[in-house]
Amino acid sequence: MLDKLLKKTKDAQKSLQRLSADDRNKCLANIADALLVNEKIILKNNKLDIDNAKANGLSDAMIERLTLNSNRIAGLALSIRELINLDNVIGDVIEEYQRPNGIIIKKERVPFGVIAVIFESRPNVSVDIAALCIKTANACVLKGGKEAINTNKALAKVMKSAIKELVDPNIICLIEDTSRETTNALITKKEYIDLLIPRGGKGLIQFVVSNAKIPYIETGAGNCHLYIHEKADLNIALKVAINAKHQRPSVCNAIENILVDEKIASDFLPSLYESFTNLNIEMRGCKKTVKLIKCNKATEEDFYTEYNDYIVAIKVVNGLGDAIKHINEHSSKHSECIITEDELAQVTFLNEIDSACVYHNASTRFTDGGEFGFGAEIGISTQKMHARGPMGLKEICSYKYKIYGNGQVR
């Protein structure tokens, strides 16, 4: 059954690749319209998933991640329209040159083909992936978690119906079987899938890394850090800390760790404690932290943990070098920030931190395809090969060389 579904998707991708850029944009416009028209059906199915999640004891933060509403559906439709307005990248000539023998070589951007994405509880990911793939003439295979299965089925049905007059709707393939066994099988299907992207927690990503037979890009895990330097503006520090931890804790660009320079810890931590206590954020601190504020003692494991919840680990560090060392050892290589007014400290931090996105005096919540001007993103790559950081249109393409001659032989 899985092979049959994947073969249909692989065959359908050719029909998508033959469409003009304008026709691919028409597919996207139809999807944006259909999301709004079918809002009630989508929300009805989303409520089933939310009710099941509550019955199964899913945390409030994860339920928030699962939840769709009118504003979020409108936001999805808007992001698709923004994507339509972005330039087509397929067929772009990346490089062109002529050899001494007269041969002309062009390096041209092309689709990967079929991109499979395994993700967990965020159903909006289904729409983001499908839209980005259509824009770039890639077919997509969607394997969501059981928490969002009803919502994902509704979204896939709406999207496929919206494009069926323009292209083979099998360019969007939802794997409805959410079992681990199907995931095991999916990640070995290299004859049908050209690129695999796991979007989820550390467990999912490690499983894919250990077992996949398909080229993959690691994304999603976000053990992100905020470092308050000794020369920080403490008002900015508090503002950024609140936003990066509290605004939406269930997403991968929220901070999980706060490092505070020991020279300003006694000035900053009481203010942080007051604000976080009022926001019901649980704090877990190192030995020095618990002497300055009332909080639970952090374990070493806490500093490696992506909580996706209203929890943060706090560590007092001995200067910039100590902070950089700690982050590079504990981070998932996603997003890290320094708060400082010192230019040398800022430059050193941004140069020496080994993560995809490094910030100065701004919230890590900006690590997002939309915020970067990409329209949307298929994931946040935390590796270094091919793509790094938010993956927009160019990052989900490959390239080929086209060579033009007039009879040259070697």
Q: Is 105 exposed, middle or buried (0-12, 13-18, 19+ CB in 10 A)?
A: middle
The 8 Å CB, 24+ separation contacts for 236-241 are 236/339, 236/361, 237/268, 237/339, 238/268, 238/271, 238/272, 238/275, 240/337, 240/339, 240/361, 240/362, 240/363, 241/272, 241/275, 241/276
**Contact criterion met (CB below 8 Å) for 194 and 215:** yes
Q: How many Å from the N-terminal Cα to the C-terminal Cα in the chain?
A: 48
**Contact criterion met (CB below 8 Å) for 315 and 323:** no
Task: Please compute, for residue 205, the number of CA atoms within 13 A of its CA located in the half-sphere on the CB side.
Answer: 16
What is the structure's pLDDT at 269? Answer: 97
What is the structure's pLDDT at 377? Answer: 78
Q: How many residues does the chain have?
A: 410
Residues sharing a CB contact under 8 Å with residue 109, sequence separation 6 or more, in sequence order: 89, 90, 91, 92, 94, 394, 397, 398, 399
Q: Cα(202)–Cα(125) distance, rounded to whole angstroms?
A: 18
pTM as predicted: 0.83
What is the structure's pLDDT at 220? Answer: 66
Kindly report the backbone phi and psi dihedral angles of residue 409, in degrees, each rounded to the nearest multiple of 5, phi listed first: -130, 160
Q: Cα(382)–Cα(125) distance, rounded to whole angstroms?
A: 18
**Contact criterion met (CB below 8 Å) for 288 and 295:** no
Q: Where are the beta strands (DSSP E) in 64-220?
A: 93-98, 104-111, 114-119, 139-143, 172-174, 195-199
The number of beta carbons lying within 10 Å of the beta carbon of residue 181 is 9
Per-residue pLDDT of the chain (410 residues; tens, 9 = 90+): 899 999 999 999 999 999 999 999 999 999 999 999 999 999 999 999 999 999 998 888 788 889 999 999 999 999 899 999 999 999 999 999 999 999 999 999 999 999 999 987 788 889 999 999 999 999 999 999 899 999 999 999 999 999 999 999 999 999 999 888 999 999 999 999 999 998 877 778 888 888 899 999 877 678 999 999 999 999 999 999 999 999 988 888 999 999 999 999 999 999 999 999 999 999 999 999 999 999 999 999 999 999 989 999 999 999 999 999 999 999 989 999 999 999 999 999 999 999 999 999 999 999 988 788 877 778 888 887 778 888 889 999 999 999 999 999 99
**Contact criterion met (CB below 8 Å) for 284 and 296:** yes
What is the structure's pLDDT at 199? Answer: 83
Q: How do 104-111 and 397-404 pair as beta strands?
A: antiparallel
